[in-house]
Amino acid sequence: MSVSLKDVAERAGVSIKTVSNVVNNYPHVTPAMRSRVQRAIDELGYRPNLTARHLRKGRTGILALAVPELGNPYFAELAGAVIDAAAEHDYTVLLDHTGGRRAQEVLVSQGFRAQVIDGLILSPIELEREDLLARDHDAPLVLLGEREYDLPYDHIAIDNVAAARTAVRHLLGLGRSRIVFLGARTDRVNQPSQLRLRGWRAELTAAGLTAPDSLVAATGGWEHADGASAMAAVLDAGERPDAVFAYNDPIAIGAMRVLSERGLRVPEDVAVVGFDDISEGRYGAVTLTTISPDKHTIARLAVRCVVERLRGEPGPAGTDGITGPGGARELRADFRLVERESTIGGRARTAG
């Protein structure tokens, strides 16, 4: 027989309303009362009916996360972090894969599955401002990534330009000067690849070095094979870089494979830095130095924004962002450089 709120109230010697306040984590409950009710909950093994709770509020208890590529380790790890963050608010997450295609991103953003979900967290690639202008339903939408739309939707990203400059500054500090950028894309000005390329150029220029186009290699995608083919193209063109800064970790790992096949040692001959800090980069024959975005903060902020919008009480931007059009928040998550063997060799084994 299932345990009810009434059973918990009787065990704790309080009203059903007090138990409900504790279960729903209302802030005005005193610590002593919260402890008393929680003890009764634990003793009886009470489990709240989350579905019924959400339905009473006219909600489904489901958030959607739509990303370009679930097979990409970064998005897979981010999805796990979003699921964990949503669970803290008693929400389940529905995952959607857009393939980075505009048509699918439009379909998702304009209310596909709107009757199933309470809010949407979307990481767009091809979506345009006019696509969002046509959005005509009120489920909260939070955007991830560097694309800026100047519209009243909360937006969460890291500073890709600053992160790229940090990576290049690390390589310059090691005495490297011919630093290739692998993973350029020319189709969108504000895509992360272009922002990271901008950071690469800016840091080289600040160091008094040139940033020739011959050291910029475009890729058709973001996978290992793309990095391998781009690295091979650079070497086949006669370039002899002493460092590589890659758009992401799979591209960096693909590049390291080609460098090894060509008889070039990492990091002695060519130092390599990736981006995203996926788990694969920590366990290769040569571990990968990388920029590590704070995925857990990105997830926490995204879920928090949706939940606050659902409550109709979005908080101020605070220290992690600014308020934009229509009260939308521009929130920034942090990043850090993780130094490993691909740039500092054996010293990585004792580095923190």
**pLDDT of residue 58 exceeding 80:** no
Above pLDDT 90, what percent of the chain? 55
119 and 179 inside one domain: no
Phi, psi dihedrals of residue 21, rounded to the nearest 5°: -65, -40
In the prediction, which pLDDT does 350 show?
41
297 neighbors 334 (Cβ within 8 angstroms) = yes
In a domain, 323, yes or no: no
Over residues 333-351, the pLDDT tens digits come to: 999 999 999 999 977 554 4
38 and 86 inside one domain: no
Above pLDDT 70, what percent of the chain? 87
In a domain, 326, yes or no: no
Does the pTM exceed 0.85?
A: no
Residue 12 is part of a domain; what is its CATH number? 1.10.260.40
In the prediction, which pLDDT does 342 show?
98
300 and 202 inside one domain: no
299 and 154 inside one domain: yes
307 and 267 inside one domain: no
Of 116, 122, 117, 126, nearest to 191 by C-alpha is 126
Q: Which residue has the higher pLDDT, 39 or 50?
A: 39
**pLDDT of residue 55 exceeding 50:** no
Over residues 109-149, the pLDDT tens digits come to: 887 666 788 999 999 988 888 888 888 777 899 999 877 78
In a domain, 325, yes or no: no
71-75 long-range contacts, CB within 8 A, separation 24+: 72/222, 72/250, 73/249, 73/250, 73/276, 73/278, 73/279, 73/280, 74/248, 74/249, 74/276, 74/278, 74/295, 75/123
CA atoms of 283 and 47, how far apart (whole Å):
40
342 neighbors 267 (Cβ within 8 angstroms) = yes
Read off the amino acid at residue 74: Y
Of 292, 284, 277, 289, nearest to 351 by C-alpha is 289
- DSSP per residue, 217-281: EE-SSSSHHHHHHHHHHHHHTT---SEEEESSHHHHHHHHHHHHHTT--TTTT-EEEEES--GGG
In the prediction, which pLDDT does 319 show?
40
In a domain, 234, yes or no: yes
User: Count of CB atoms within 10 A of residue 330's CB?
Assistant: 17
pLDDT band at 190 (very low <50, low <70, confident <90, very high): low
In a domain, 55, yes or no: no
**pLDDT of residue 304 exceeding 90:** yes
Phi, psi dihedrals of residue 348, rounded to the nearest 5°: -60, -25
pLDDT band at 318 (very low <50, low <70, confident <90, very high): very low
9 and 88 inside one domain: no
183 and 311 inside one domain: no
Query: What H or E segment, with its residue span, contains residue 335?
Result: strand 335-338
Residues of the domain holding 135: 60-158+295-315
Q: Which residue has the higher pLDDT, 173 or 115?
A: 173
In the prediction, which pLDDT does 171 show?
98
- Residues 259-277 have a mean pLDDT of 97
Phi, psi dihedrals of residue 197, rounded to the nearest 5°: -65, -40
10 and 90 inside one domain: no
Residue 78 is part of a domain; what is its CATH number? 3.40.50.2300
In the prediction, which pLDDT does 308 show?
92
CA atoms of 272 and 289, how far apart (whole Å):
7
In a domain, 149, yes or no: yes
Over residues 191-208, the pLDDT tens digits come to: 788 899 999 999 999 999
Query: Residue holding tokens 């990968």?
Result: 288
143 and 277 inside one domain: no
Q: Name the domain count of the chain.
A: 3
pLDDT band at 221 (very low <50, low <70, confident <90, very high): confident
96 and 203 inside one domain: no
Of 16, 26, 17, 19, nearest to 42 by C-alpha is 19
